[in-house]
Copies of this chain bind each other. A is one copy, B any other.
Amino acid sequence: MSTAQGARARARIEVTAAIKDAARRQLAEEGAAKLSLRAVARELGMVSSALYRYFPSRDDLLTALIIDAYDSLGEAAEAAHAAAPAADPVRRWTAVCEAVRAWALGHPHEYALIYGSPVPGYSAPQTTVPAAARVGLLLIGIVRDAHDSSGLTELPLPAELRPEAERLAADLAPDLPPEAAAALVAAWAELFGLVGFELFGQFNRVVEDREAFFRHAVTRLATGVGLTAGP
């Protein structure tokens, strides 16, 4: 009994993975807007109605691809973070940022899926939130650690932003000063601005040595949120 169930479960996992792989291939060639269940089924030698045993709708397949992409990016970022020197917050920060960039360059279509234009007619459900939050949580952790070991520079905070900054801090990192929380969220968005501009061609004929440029830019982002180099 358990073997039969195990075999069935294994088969199900394999077919699910094959569907997602074919869908990712289609994503690269046609874009998310044109992702078609029928084309995926055709590529797998299945019939389109069979796919509905695995994904109840085209949008659910899209959602699975989005979560996978966020998780793949999050895993890459977390691995880079774990390998960085624990005592140096700036090195940890730049390690995460460079992992994000490397993942994006290696998975441009999945990056476009999660950080590019929204897919017309599709709205991401709340189930994508935990996976989407992983990189942000890593960055929060780095700043929190620096704050705990008194390694966080103080930042200015205009009165206009104080309520929002306090709300952000309460939501994301209650132990952080509000101005650090606000700076952190801005740096998070700015990081993806740098990555997106490179990936989507805005740096063509502008920035040549992108590696060096990016490293310097994210180092400045790190100091912008109050991090200072470790020993």
User: Which residues in A have some Cβ–Cβ distance to B below 8 Å?
Assistant: 29-34, 112-113, 115-120, 124, 129, 132, 157-158, 160-161, 163-164, 167-168, 171-172, 182-183, 185-186, 188-194, 196-198, 200-203, 205-209, 212-213, 215-217, 219-221, 224
Contact = CB atoms under 8 A, between A and B. Distances in A.
A168 B117 contact: no
Contacts of A32: 117
What's the number of copies of this chain in the assembled complex?
A: 2
Contact of A186 (B171, B185, B201, B220): B220
Q: Is the interface of A mostly helix, strand, loop or mixed?
A: helix
A216 B186 CA distance: 9
A190 B219 CA distance: 13
Given A206-B171, A213-B186, A29 B200 contact: no
Contact of A116 (B34, B117, B167): B117
A116 B202 CA distance: 11
Contacts of A215: 160-161
A80 B72 CA distance: 41
A194 B186 contact: yes
14 contacts: A30-B33, A32-B117, A33-B34, A116-B116, A161-B216, A164-B207, A168-B207, A182-B216, A186-B213, A189-B197, A190-B193, A190-B217, A192-B193, A192-B196
Given A192-B193, A200-B118, A212 B164 contact: yes
Nearest to A159: B212
B185 A206 contact: yes
Given A30-B33, A190-B194, A220-B224, 17 more contacts: A29-B120, A30-B120, A117-B200, A158-B219, A161-B209, A161-B213, A164-B209, A164-B213, A167-B208, A168-B206, A182-B216, A182-B217, A186-B213, A189-B202, A190-B193, A193-B193, A224-B224
